[in-house]
Amino acid sequence: MTDKNTNSEKMDDVQMAAVAISATIIIFFVIYWSIQIQSVRDLLEMAYG
């Protein structure tokens, strides 16, 4: 019983960590690339109006 319990808790830990880091990666990805794309658009706007 306790063994099973620790096992599932361990799984919870990895899953929780996985969700945390995945969310961080996805948020970072969206912010980073939207800033990159925006800066390119700004530059093109400056160049061609």
Residue ranges in contact with other proteins by CB under 8 A: 6, 8-11, 13-26, 29, 32-33, 40, 44
Residue ranges in 1-48 assigned as alpha helix (H): 2-48
- Tell me how far, at minimum, the Cβ of 32 lies from other proteins, in Å: 7
Nearer to other proteins, 25 or 38 (CB): 25
- DSSP type of residue 47: H
- Tell me how far, at minimum, the Cβ of 10 lies from other proteins, in Å: 8
Residue 8 backbone zone (phi > 0: left; psi -120 to 50: alpha; other: beta): alpha
Collapse the DSSP code of 5 into the 3-class scheme (helix H, G, I; strand E, B; otherwise coil) and give the result: helix
- Tell me how far, at minimum, the Cβ of 3 lies from other proteins, in Å: 14
